[in-house]
Amino acid sequence: MQQQLPRPGSGKTRVVAARVAHLIASGAAPESLLVITFTGKAAGELLQRLRELLGEAVASRLRPSTFHALCANLLRRYKLETGVPDFQVASEEDAQDMVKSILDNKKFRQSMRYSKQEEQDKKIKDEAVFYRKHISNIKNLCVNIDGRSGMQLIAEIAAAGRRMPGGDSPEITCRIAVMYDEYVARMAQEQLLDFDDLLHHSWRCSKPTRVHGRWQHVLVDESQDTNLCQFELVRQLTSPSSSLFMVGDPDQGIYGFRGAKASLLAQHFSKLYGPAAGTRSLSENYRSREPIVDVAEIVRRHARLSSDIAAAGRSRQPRLRNDTVTLMEADNDYDEADQVVLQLRQWHNAGYVWGEMAVLFRNRFHSTNVYSKAIAAGIPCNLWSRGEFFEAPEIKVALALLRCLVDPLRAGECIKKRLVNKGSTVKVPLMAGLGADAVDSLAAAYAADSSSSSNSLGSCLLGDLPSDLDAQHAVAPLQQYTAATAAGTADTEALQGLAAAWQPPAGAKKPTKKQRAAVDRLRGLVLLGRAAAAALPPEQVLQLLLVASGLLPQLQAALQEKGAVLRPNSADKAEQRKLRKRIGNMKTLRKLARNPTTGLPLLQQLYDYCVLQGEDDEDADDAEKVQLMTMHASKGKEFACVAVLRVHDGSIPSVRTDEPGGQSAAMEQERNLLYVAITRAKEHCLLVWPKSMYRSFPQVRSVSGQPQALVVSRFLKPVLAAAAKGLLPGVQKLKRRYVETK
C-alpha cells in the first residue's frame, strides 16, 4: 500500500504511468490492473502515455476510467449478482428534470406547505437546482443510503458534525427530506440511477460478488478529490492480497462542495493500512518558474517566505525574468478587464501564442467584461465550458435516438423533450407531424388503459418491437431499407413499413394521418437500428441513425443553401460556421463510437460513456485561442501565461465561508482553489483585483449605484508584504497601466 503526495507540476501523471509500466514489467497482466482517474480526459491522457511506454498492443488491454464509468460497467456486468435491476444512467439534466416534474405535481407542492409569498418568489427552475443540489449532497455525505429516509440521513449528517441541508431552518430541512424521499421513489420507479446512485449501489454490492479482489493492483489518481463513498468503494475493491497506490495532494483538494474529503488521504491512509502503508512526497515542480512556486507556497502556507516553505515545494525552472509574477490593483472591474487585455497583448508581443494563455476566475459571470473587451480588441478567446459538446442540441437529439435504440421502453422523456419539442433549436424530420400535445394525449391514454402494465410513453410507442435481433433476422429490415433508398425514396420515408403497424392505446383520440406516419417512422428507425446493431459496427449504426432520421441530411442541405448565397452578410457567415460546427459535432460523435465488433451492448456502452464523460469535453479547435475558464475547470491543465481575476475578499475567499462561525475546512478549500489557479502558470502569472465594483453581484452589493470598495484577498496579503520587503525576486507589484480610450 503506497500513497504519493505530489505538488503541482511534479509529474503526477507520469508517476502513475511509470507505476503501471513497472507492474506490467514485473509480470502483472494488464487485465489485473484497475486505474481510476478523476475525469475522462485524464483517463485519455494517461492511456496515451501508456501507449508511448508500453506500445499499443499492451496499452489496449488497460482500461483507465472514472469512478462513475467503472461503477456503471460493474453494475451492468454483475447485475444478476448485485440484484440491481436493468437500469439507465440519468444525466445531471435528467435528474434535474425529475425534480422539476415532482415540483409540478400540485399534491406534492401542497405537502411542502409553501406560503403564498414563497410561491410568488420561487421559480420552478431555481427550486429544482436547489433541491437537486441538496439531494446530491446528502448522498455524498453518507455511505449507506439504502432503504433509509431523507430525515434519517440528515440526522446522520448532523451527528457527524457536518452542516445540515437547509442550514438552521428546520422547515427547509424538512422540505429537503420530503423531496429526497419522493425523488428516490420516482427514480426507482423509472429504474434510473444518477451519478451518486452508481457509487452507492457499487459500494453496497461489491463485497459479496466476484468484484471484490478481482484486481491485483488498484491505482487511484487525484485521490484528494474522493468523497467518503468513493474511498470506501476503493477499500471494497481491494483484497488483503491486492496492492493499492493512491496519488493526490491534500492542498489541491477543491471539491469539498461535492463531499470530497482530502483528510481521507492525508490522515486515514496509514491508519487503515497500518505499517505496510508507505508515503512519499513529490516536491519538485517541473512546470512553473521559481517565483510562481514561491508565491503559491506562501498562499498555501499563509506564512512568510522561509527555507521550510521553499523545501515544501521547489521549482526546477530558473527565474530568468523579474516580471514572472505581477500583482496589480485595478481601479474597478472595468479597468481590471482593460489591464488583463493589455497584459494578454504584451504576452503575445513577447512571442507567446494565444493558445498558451488562460484567464481564470471564480465564477463564470466574472469573465463578462474581459471576454467582451478581448473580442473587441481582436484577441481570439474561448469561454470554456464543461460539457459544451454534449450540450449541443444536435448531440442531444442524436443521444435521444440512441436511447430509443438501447432502451425503448423508458425513452419516453427523450422522445418528448428532444424529438418532438417544438421549442428545440434542431428539428427532427423523422417526427414531423407529431407534436408535444399529441404525445401527452397518447401517454395519458396509455396510462389510463387498464390492459397496459406500464405508463411509459416509450412502452406506448415502441413496446411491441422485438427486443433484440440476431444476424439472421437483421438482414430483412436492412435489405428493405437499402432497396427503398436505392429506388429514390427519401431516407426518412423509407422507414415506413419496416415495423409492424402501430395500434394506439384504447381511449386515445384517433391520431391523424401525419401523426401515425411519424410514429411509424420512429418504430421503423428503432427496428432498423437494432437490425444494424447485429450486423454492423457501432460507428456505422450511429451514421445510419443520423441519416435515416433526417437530422444529418437536414443540416447538410442548410449548409449548402447558405453556401450558395452570392454575397453573404455577417449573419449568413455566422450561420455557416454554426452549421459546420454542428456537422463536425456529429462526426466527432461517430469517432467516439469506433469499435470493430458488433452488438447492441456496445451502443449501450456508448450511451453510458456520453452521459458520464460529457463534462470533460474540450474542443480541439480552440487550441489557438485564449482560454477563459473557472478555477475549478482549470484543474489538471497548464498554460505558459495565466491571469487570475478578482483576487479579493468576497470572491476568494467567498463571503459564504467568511461569515461568523464559518467553517475552517471551507476556508481551506478556498485557499486551495487559489493555490491551484496560481500553479497552472508555467512562465508568467498576473494576479489582479479591483479596488471597487460598479456591477453588483451576490457576494458584493453596490449601494445606490455607487462603487463598492473591495479589499485584496487575505490569502495574497502575505505575498504583498514579502514582495514589498524584496524577499521575492521575480515578483513585482505594479500600478495600473494607462489604457488609451478611443
Lowest average pLDDT, out of 253-262, 299-308, 523-532, 663-672, goes to 299-308
Give the pLDDT score at 609.
83
Work out the average pLDDT over 229-239.
82
Highest mean pLDDT among 290-294, 361-365, 390-394, 732-736: 290-294
**Are the C-beta atoms of 249 and 6 separated by less than 8 Å?**
yes
User: Which pLDDT tens digit goes with each residue over 89-110?
Assistant: 888 888 888 888 888 777 777 6
The answer on 380 and 406 residing in a single domain is: no
The answer on 319 and 369 residing in a single domain is: yes
Work out the average pLDDT over 632-651.
90
How far apart (Å, rounded) are the C-alpha atoms in residues 440 and 444? 6
Give the pLDDT score at 700.
45
For residue 284, tell me if it sits in a domain.
no
> In a 10 Å sphere around its CB, with 0-12 CB exposed, 13-18 middle and 19+ buried, how is residue 167 labelled?
exposed
Lowest average pLDDT, out of 147-161, 195-209, 247-261, 401-415, goes to 247-261
Give the pLDDT score at 183.
93
HSE-up of 194 (CA within 13 Å, CB side)? 21
% of the chain beyond a pLDDT of 90:
19
Give the pLDDT score at 82.
62
The answer on 430 and 375 residing in a single domain is: no
Give the pLDDT score at 322.
60
Work out the average pLDDT over 414-422.
82
- Please report which residue ranges of 278-332 form alpha helices under DSSP H: 290-301, 307-312
Work out the average pLDDT over 645-650.
91
The answer on 408 and 534 residing in a single domain is: yes
265/630: higher pLDDT: 630
Q: Grid coordinates in use for 598?
A: 458488433
For residue 280, tell me if it sits in a domain.
no
Of 273, 304, 336, the residue that ends a domain is: 273
pLDDT greater than 50 at residue 657: no
pLDDT greater than 50 at residue 308: no
Give the pLDDT score at 552.
92
Give the pLDDT score at 658.
44
Residue 700 bridge partners (DSSP): 697
The answer on 374 and 235 residing in a single domain is: no
Name every residue whose Cβ is closer than 8 Å to that of residue 708 and which is 6 or more positions away in sequence: 692, 693, 696, 700, 701, 702
Report the amino acid identity of residue 365.
F
The answer on 424 and 568 residing in a single domain is: yes
The answer on 526 and 436 residing in a single domain is: yes
Helix (H, G, I), strand (E, B) or coil at 329: strand
Give the pLDDT score at 692.
84
The answer on 717 and 628 residing in a single domain is: yes
320/547: higher pLDDT: 547
The answer on 605 and 466 residing in a single domain is: yes
pLDDT greater than 70 at residue 602: yes
Give the pLDDT score at 661.
40
Give the pLDDT score at 164.
63
Element holding 246 (H helix, E strand): strand 243-247
pLDDT greater than 60 at residue 538: yes
Of 591, 612, 633, the residue that ends a domain is: 612
pLDDT band of residue 617 (cuts 50, 70, 90) is very low
CATH number of the CATH domain containing 312: 3.40.50.300
Give the pLDDT score at 313.
53
Domain tally for the chain? 4
Q: Grid coordinates in use for 697?
A: 453581484
Give the pLDDT score at 593.
86
Query: Among candidates 248, 282, 280, which has minimal Cα distance to 262?
Result: 248
pLDDT greater than 50 at residue 535: yes
The answer on 171 and 73 residing in a single domain is: no
pLDDT greater than 80 at residue 614: no
Of 157, 190, 223, the residue that ends a domain is: 190
pLDDT band of residue 342 (cuts 50, 70, 90) is very high
Helix (H, G, I), strand (E, B) or coil at 282: strand
For residue 467, tell me if it sits in a domain.
yes
The answer on 92 and 77 residing in a single domain is: no
pLDDT greater than 60 at residue 454: no
Q: Average pLDDT over the chain, rounded to whole?
A: 80
Report the amino acid identity of residue 306.
S
How far apart (Å, rounded) are the C-alpha atoms in residues 681 and 357? 9
**Are the C-beta atoms of 303 and 316 separated by less than 8 Å?**
no
For residue 5, tell me if it sits in a domain.
no
For residue 740, tell me if it sits in a domain.
no
% of the chain beyond a pLDDT of 70:
80
Domain limits for position 113: 88-190
For residue 282, tell me if it sits in a domain.
no
Query: Among candidates 365, 369, 360, 380, which has minimal Cα distance to 698?
Result: 365
Give the pLDDT score at 251.
79
Work out the average pLDDT over 494-509.
86
Give the pLDDT score at 456.
73
The answer on 524 and 413 residing in a single domain is: yes
> Can you say whether the dihedral through the CA atoms of 135, 136, 138, 142 is positive or negative?
positive
User: Which pLDDT tens digit goes with each residue over 658-710?
Assistant: 444 445 777 888 888 999 999 999 999 999 999 887 654 444 444 445 567 78
User: Which pLDDT tens digit goes with each residue over 183-233?
Assistant: 999 888 888 899 989 988 888 776 666 676 678 898 988 888 888 788 888
How far apart (Å, rounded) are the C-alpha atoms in residues 424 and 426? 5
Give the pLDDT score at 541.
92
